[in-house]
Structure 1
Amino acid sequence: MKVVSFLQADQQRLSTCAAEETIESVAKRLSALNIGALPVCGANNALVGVISERDVVRGMAKEGCKLAERRVRDLMTRDVVVCDQTTTMADAEKLMYQKHVRHLPVVDGGRVIGLLSIRDVMAWRIQEAKTELNVLRDIAIVAR
């Protein structure tokens, strides 16, 4: 299955933020949406970074309460691992594992079109296992 097909089937609604937003506003959005990261976008939805809960926690550990007024650009990850819409879920899973990332922006021509999370990969894996189990049951029934 391609990443873009999974995101469409999951009916993902992409949320992004801007590099100029405050950490406080992004933290509130992450909490309200119950998500772990947001792609940071510039003009025309071009990916410029990713801001995650971990970035916020690390920033809080360093700066304390002063962090709330800082900007996303101060904490975001700039060197972002990405995939494109032709990437398979298996390849995305492998990439996330190899690069030690929990969120993988899906880009098309530099524009963000989705964000794959480790939770998405787990859901896909579970569905794959269920499908395989059903196929094996069907084969066992036919073989009787």
Structure 2
Amino acid sequence: MTVESILKHKGGDVVTVRPEDSIEATASLLHSRRIGAVIVKDEAGAVVGVLSERDIVRGIAQGGAGALSRQVKELMSGNVVSCRLHDSIIEVMGRMTDRRIRHLPVIEDGRLVGMISIGDVVKRRIDEALLEADELRRYIATG
């Protein structure tokens, strides 16, 4: 199973913001879309960061409610860790665990084609395990 298999079920829709957008507006966007992170793209459309709920909470913890008036570029994670369509689910799980991140942009040939979360990865892995169990049951039943 690969990242591509996750995106086939989930779709490639990605919510993006600009570095100059406010944290308050972005937090509202996260809430209304019921998502945990957004991709930050510059004027040229290049991925320059990821802003997660965790980044916002960290900003509020350090700067109080005033953090909401700051710009996305001040709180985003700028060292973007990404994956590719043909990366395996196991490889991506390891990367997310090692880096302690919950969201990965999917970048193929320099272009953003989707984003996956740890929830997407775990769900796909569970589906894969259930399929394997069903196949084993069928194999055993047919002798």
Instruction: Compute the TM-score of the two structures, normalised by the length of structure 2.
Output: 0.93
* CA displacement, residues 18-76 of structure 1 (integer Å, 9 cap, x when unaligned): 11100001101111111111111113431100000000001011111211110000000
CA distance change for structure 1 residues 35 and 118 in 2, over 3 Å: closer, same or farther? same
Q: Is the 8 A contact 1:47 1:110 kept in 2?
A: no
Aligned residue pair count: 143
Where does structure 2 lack aligned partners over 5 or more consecutive residues? none
Equivalent-residue separation in structure 2 for 1:60 and 1:10 (angstroms): 31
Residue 127 of structure 1 deviates from its aligned partner by: 0.3
Equivalent-residue separation in structure 2 for 1:126 and 1:95 (angstroms): 18
Equivalent-residue separation in structure 2 for 1:44 and 1:115 (angstroms): 19
Within-5 A mapping of 1:127-138: 127-138=127-138
Equivalent-residue separation in structure 2 for 1:77 and 1:111 (angstroms): 19
Equivalent-residue separation in structure 2 for 1:45 and 1:3 (angstroms): 22
Identity, % of aligned positions: 38
Q: Is the 8 A contact 2:12 2:113 kept in 1?
A: no
Q: SS where residue 95 of structure 1 aligns?
A: helix
Equivalent-residue separation in structure 1 for 2:44 and 2:142 (angstroms): 54
What amino acid is the match of 2:88?
Answer: T
Q: Is the 8 A contact 1:37 1:50 kept in 2?
A: yes
Equivalent-residue separation in structure 2 for 1:134 and 1:5 (angstroms): 19
Instruction: Compute the TM-score of the two structures, normalised by the length of structure 1.
Output: 0.92
What amino acid is the match of 2:3?
Answer: V
Q: Which residue of 1 aligns with 2:74?
A: 74
What amino acid is the match of 2:93?
Answer: E
Within-5 A mapping of 1:1-144: 1-143=1-143
Q: Is the 8 A contact 1:36 1:53 kept in 2?
A: yes
**How big is the alpha-carbon RMSD for the aligned residues of Structure 1 and Structure 2?**
1.3
Equivalent-residue separation in structure 2 for 1:64 and 1:111 (angstroms): 36
Equivalent-residue separation in structure 1 for 2:125 and 2:108 (angstroms): 24
Equivalent-residue separation in structure 2 for 1:86 and 1:43 (angstroms): 28
Q: Is the 8 A contact 1:22 1:68 kept in 2?
A: yes
Where does structure 1 lack aligned partners over 5 or more consecutive residues? none
Residue 12 of structure 1 deviates from its aligned partner by: 4.2
